[in-house]
Amino acid sequence: MTAPAESEEHQALRAAVAALGRRYGRDYLARTVAEGRPPTELWTEAGRLGYLGVSLPEEHGGGGGGITELAIVLEELGAAGSPLLMLVVSPAICGTVISRFGTDAQKRRWLPALADGTRVMAFGITEPDAGSNSHRITTTARRDGPDWLLTGRKVFVSGVDTADAVLIVGRTEDARTGRLKPCLFIVPTGAENFHRHRIDMELTAAEKQFELVLDDVRLPHDALVGADASHAPGGGEQDTGLLQLFAGLNPERIMTAAFAIGMGRHALAKAVAYARDRTVWDTPIGAHQAIAHPLAQAHIDLELARLMMQKAARLYDAGDDTGAGEAANMAKYAAGEACVKAVDQAVHTLGGNGLTREFGLASLITAARVARIAPVSREMILNYVSHQTLGLPKSY
């Protein structure tokens, strides 16, 4: 399923990551879930081979590529049945934000370790009462001498149990205007007054979800990403935190699309193999159009979603944040829809076998819906496109 327009380097990257994915595969991931542990072996090897840091700067231990290359890594691992959800979070969101906006000290401290996988960073933005409205975020930081005191709650934060720190989205009060400004803090998971509570999910995944409670967590000045003058007492007006936030959210949407496309490809491949081999009345069931056509449609939808994902990644890597924002939302929407349809059709193709552990498709029914819901719902994407792209009146 290699796109002919891709460069030889990208095709080689796909092949290499696909080979790594096959060495682990869906059985490996299912085993880690059953054992209640993260996919450490796969994460470690992906880091050693340079795949985790492929999008991070070379001067800080990365591969010098972009989100285009990182999306290839996640898509191919997903197609092999062993996607790494924390790829969306640690290098794509956190690594990107720090590489673009971090201080030299923050880059030296975090980027090499994020690139080789020896350190992991989670990302906390969602709050119980804010939902998709980031303007209602209530996590705030206030000055206490040279330090910050951070207070608030976050929910649905992935992988906190394996993370060394969490990149927390909060707000600070501008010293001159009193206006609350967005900001991002690097918060160690071992910090005093930092509390995590695992959320009991029916979703089958190796990565766990957590609620965080921050009760006056004391942080040094340089925990603020960029530690810039606009957040210092008497500082400037520029909302650097807002720029930082969107610099992370666009890669998050692109990588979610890659996650969904990989999952859809994995399910479709199983269904196609079954339809070729399963024979009823001396005829493979894949010869019947009622089976073949829906699978063909699923393939088309996944390919179209991939094209939009590639467009979004190219725009982002070229520095076009505005264009990437529109395309990343569209890619995430298209991939989420294509993934759900591909998984549903795959299960339907296998009939009763599609619900057995042997074929490993049933658990994807729930997992596929994640791409429709997170990190932003399809309805909010439609709001964005109707308002921002089509110029229709805003409804929210």
Predicted local distance difference test score (pLDDT) of residue 177: 65
| pLDDT score recorded for residue 264 | 98
pLDDT digits (tens, 9 = 90+) for 17-61: 999 999 999 999 999 998 989 999 999 999 999 999 999 999 999
In this predicted model, what pLDDT tens digit does every residue of 200-224 receive, in sequence order? 998 888 899 999 999 999 999 999 9
pLDDT digits 0-9 by tens, 83-125: 999 999 999 999 999 999 999 999 999 999 999 999 999 999 9
Mean pLDDT of 362-380: 93
Quick one: pLDDT at residue 178? 61
Torsion angles phi and psi, residue 327, rounded to 5? -70, -35
Give which of 394, 393, 342, 337 is closest to 370, Cα–Cα. 337
Contacts 24+ apart (CB under 8 A), 359-363: 359/270, 359/274, 360/26, 360/27, 360/30, 360/81, 360/270, 361/267, 361/270, 361/271, 363/30, 363/204
Query: Stretch 305-332: mean pLDDT, rounded?
Result: 96
Q: What is the 3-state secondary structure (H, E, C) of the chain?
A: CCCCCCCHHHHHHHHHHHHHHHHHHHHHHHHHHHHCCCCHHHHHHHHHCCCCCCCCCHHHCCCCCCHHHHHHHHHHHHHCCCCCCHHHHHHHHHHHHHHHHCCHHHHHHHHHHHHHCCCCEEEECCCCCCCCCHHHCCCEEEEECCEEEEEEEEEEEECHHHCCEEEEEEEEECCCCCCEEEEEEEEECCCCCEEEEECCCCCCCCCCEEEEEEEEEEECHHHECCCCHHHCCCCCCCCHHHHHHHHHHHHHHHHHHHHHHHHHHHHHHHHHHHHHHCEECCEEHHHCHHHHHHHHHHHHHHHHHHHHHHHHHHHHHCCCHHHHHHHHHHHHHHHHHHHHHHHHHHHHHHHHHHHCCCCCCHHHHHHHHHHHHCCCCHHHHHHHHHHHHCCCCCCC
Range in 65-79, 225-239, 256-270, 331-345 with the lowest mean pLDDT: 225-239
**Given this model, what pLDDT does residue 129 score?**
87
Are 347 and 275 a contacting pair, CB within 8 Å?
no
Calculate the average pLDDT of the chain: 92
Return the pLDDT at 227.
Answer: 80
The answer to whether the CB of 374 falls within 8 A of the CB of 249 is: no
Q: What pLDDT is attached to residue 162?
A: 96
Q: At 233, is the pLDDT very low, low, confident or very high (cuts 50, 70, 90)?
A: very low
pLDDT of residue 245: 84
Residue 171 has pLDDT above 60, yes or no: yes
Q: Give percent of the chain above pLDDT 70.
A: 94
pLDDT above 90 for 348:
yes
The mean per-residue pLDDT over the stretch 233-250 comes to 68
Res 3: pLDDT: 47
Confidence at residue 338, expressed as pLDDT on a 0 to 100 scale: 98
What is the rounded distance in angstroms from the CA atom of residue 269 to the CA atom of residue 1?
10
Confidence grade of residue 235 (pLDDT, cut at 50, 70, 90): very low
Q: What confidence score (pLDDT) does residue 132 get?
A: 62
Q: Which residue has the higher pLDDT, 232 or 156?
A: 156
Other CB atoms closer than 10 Å to residue 387's CB: what's the count?
Answer: 14
Query: What are the tens digits of pLDDT across the range 115-131?
Result: 999 999 999 999 998 76
